[in-house]
Amino acid sequence: MNIEERFLKYVSYDTQSDEYSNTTPSTLKQLDLAKELVKEMLEIGISDAHLDEYGIVYGTIKGNGGTGDIIGFIAHMDTSPDASGKNIKPQKITNYDGSIIELNKELGLSLNPEEFTSLKKMIGHDLITTDGTTLLGADDKAGVAIIMDFANYLYQHPEIKHNDIKIAFTPDEEVGRGTDNFNVKKFNAKYAYTVDGGDIAEYNYENFNAYSANVEITGKSIHPGNAKNKMISAINLAIEFENMLPEEKKPYYTDGYDGFNHLHHLEGNCEKATLEYIIRNHDLQLAKKQIADFERIKTYLNDKYNYEAINLDINESYLNMAEIIKENYYIIEKLQAAMKKVGIESYASPIRGGTDGARLTFMGLPCPNIGTGGENYHGPFEFVSLTMMKQAVKIITELVKE
- CATH code of residue 74: 3.40.630.10
Catalytic residue among 126, 164, 172, 173: 173
Q: What is the pLDDT of residue 355?
A: 78
Edge-to-edge strands, sheet with 383-385:
91-93, 127-129, 383-385, 374-375
When computed from its CA atoms, the radius of gyration of the chain, rounded to whole angstroms, is 23
Q: Are residues 121 and 13 in the same domain?
A: yes
Q: What is the pLDDT of residue 17?
A: 98
Q: Are residues 272 and 285 in the same domain?
A: yes
| Active-site annotation holds for 78 | yes
Q: Are residues 86 and 178 in the same domain?
A: yes
Residue 139 annotated as lining a ligand binding site: yes
Q: Which has the closest alpha carbon to 395: 223, 150, 159?
A: 150
Q: Are residues 249 and 192 in the same domain?
A: no
Helical H segments across 121-197, by residue range: 138-156, 184-187
Q: Are residues 298 and 335 in the same domain?
A: no
Q: What is the pLDDT of residue 132?
A: 98
Q: For residue 137, is it left (φ>0), alpha (ψ between -120 and 50) or beta?
A: left
Look at the chain and report how many structural domains it folds into: 2
Q: What is the pLDDT of residue 353?
A: 78
Q: Are residues 194 and 332 in the same domain?
A: yes
Q: What is the pLDDT of residue 318?
A: 86
How far apart are alpha carbons 327 and 322 in whole angstroms? 9
Q: Are residues 86 and 176 in the same domain?
A: yes
Instruction: Give the count of beta carbons closer than 10 Å to the beta carbon of residue 289.
Output: 13
Instruction: Give the count of beta carbons closer than 10 Å to the beta carbon of residue 297.
Output: 19
Here the CATH number for the domain that contains residue 236 is 3.30.70.360
Residue 196 annotated as lining a ligand binding site: yes
Query: Cα 318 to the chain's mean position, in Å?
Result: 12
Q: Are residues 21 and 126 in the same domain?
A: yes
pTM flag (> 0.85): yes
Q: What is the pLDDT of residue 354?
A: 74
Q: Are residues 107 and 238 in the same domain?
A: no
On whether the CB atoms of residues 372 and 138 are closer than 8 A, the answer is yes
| Integer CA distances (angstroms), 50 to 16, 41, 112, 169, 247, in order | 21, 9, 43, 11, 48
| Active-site annotation holds for 173 | yes
Residue 50 annotated as lining a ligand binding site: no
- Of 318, 348, 375, which residue sits at a domain end? 318
Q: Are residues 20 and 48 in the same domain?
A: yes
Q: Which has the closest alpha carbon to 34: 72, 71, 78?
A: 78
- Of 249, 284, 318, which residue sits at a domain end? 318
Q: Are residues 228 and 191 in the same domain?
A: no
Q: What is the pLDDT of residue 176?
A: 87
Q: Are residues 222 and 366 in the same domain?
A: no
pLDDT below 70 — which residues of the chain?
none
- Of 277, 296, 318, which residue sits at a domain end? 318
The domain of 284 spans 209-318
